[in-house]
Amino acid sequence: MTEEQYAKIQARLERLESKKKDIWDIIQILGTLLIPVAIAFAGNQYSKAQQAEALQVEQLQIERSHEMAQVNARIGQAGLIASMLDHLLSSDVKRKQLATEAVLIANPEIGPTLVRIVSEKDNNLEVRNFAKNALDERKNSLVQGLFDEKPAKRSEAYTGLMAGWSSNSEIIPEIITYARQHQANVDGVNNVLIFLSHMNQDALMPYKTEIETFIGEVQSMGQKTKERGAKLKNRLPK
């Protein structure tokens, strides 16, 4: 090998060595730049995870608070019902009448059942008639509430009807008649369909034909009404 060839090889090696250094320099620079980015990314992910966990804890606390509120409300209602029973069993007609009105409002779940018993079994005709009228007024008020312009009122009415009349067939012709008289109120008609579809299935049997007729009458009122009607029809006893 001549000195000239050796010099060329040496020059190439030096250039390669220089390139290696440049590459390592670049890698080191990039590494230095990426470390803060990686730290920031990891910190951001950790922060998001902590926030998500905090939200879950908060949601659980809200749910537990809601459950406790419901339990406390039921305990309070149970105490109220116990005190009302004394009045309902009293021989004092006025006390019975006041208790009849109060229990319907205070406890939508058991109130209608208690008042219905009074309307059928009480020894005093005046008390029986009063209880029956109070029950009818409450029922009519709730049926009308299904057609209220305020969603909260409609929801409250639905809850009250489900609690006190979901197994009572007698309400079916009355609620259908009211819906026919107020067909311009689409929300109300839909609420009637929803209530009927959520009633006890056995309670629907005596008025199956009338319900089917009503479904046919309102199905052209809109897609939602048509869908509600179809669901109700599927729930009707075969």
**Which pLDDT score, from 0 to 100, does residue 202 have?**
93
pLDDT score recorded for residue 45: 58
Angle, in degrees to the nearest 10, between helices 171-181 and 125-145: 40
Tell me the torsion sign for CA atoms 159, 164, 165, 166.
positive
Tell me 150's DSSP state.
S
At 131-177, the pLDDT tens digits run: 888 889 999 999 999 999 999 999 999 999 998 899 999 999 999 99
The whole-angstrom separation of Cα 144 and Cα 134 is 15
How far is residue 192's CA from residue 107's CA, in Å, rounded to a whole number?
22
The least confident of 118-122, 142-146, 198-202, 223-227 is 118-122
The pair of three-digit structure tokens given for residue 116, joined into one six-digit string:
């219905």
- Among 106, 34, 153, 44, which Cα is nearest to 98's? 106
Cβ-based burial of 212 (10 A; exposed 0-12, middle 13-18, buried ≥19): middle
C-alpha separations of 204 from 23, 141, 157, 192 in Å = 83, 22, 20, 13
Q: What share of the chain is helix, strand, coil (3-state, %, to 5)?
A: 85, 0, 15
pLDDT tens track for 214-237: 999 999 999 999 999 999 999 998
Look at residues 113, 120, 126, 124 and name the one whose alpha carbon lies nearest to residue 84: 113
Residue 221 DSSP label? G
Query: Can you tell me which residue has the tokens 């208790």?
Result: 99
- CA angle 137/140/143 to nearest 5° reads 150
Q: What is the DSSP secondary-structure string of 177-188?
A: HHHHHTTT-HHH
CB atoms within 10 A of CB 3: 7
| Exposure string over 213-237, b if 16+ CB within 10 A, otherwise e | ebbeebbebeeebeebbeebbeebe
Give 87's pLDDT tier (boundaries 50, 70, 90): low
What is the 8-class DSSP label of residue 222? -
- pLDDT bucket at 122, cuts 50 / 70 / 90: confident
Residue 153 has a pLDDT of 92
> Which has more confidence, 74 or 11?
11
Q: Residue 88: its pLDDT value, please?
A: 66
pTM of the model: 0.60
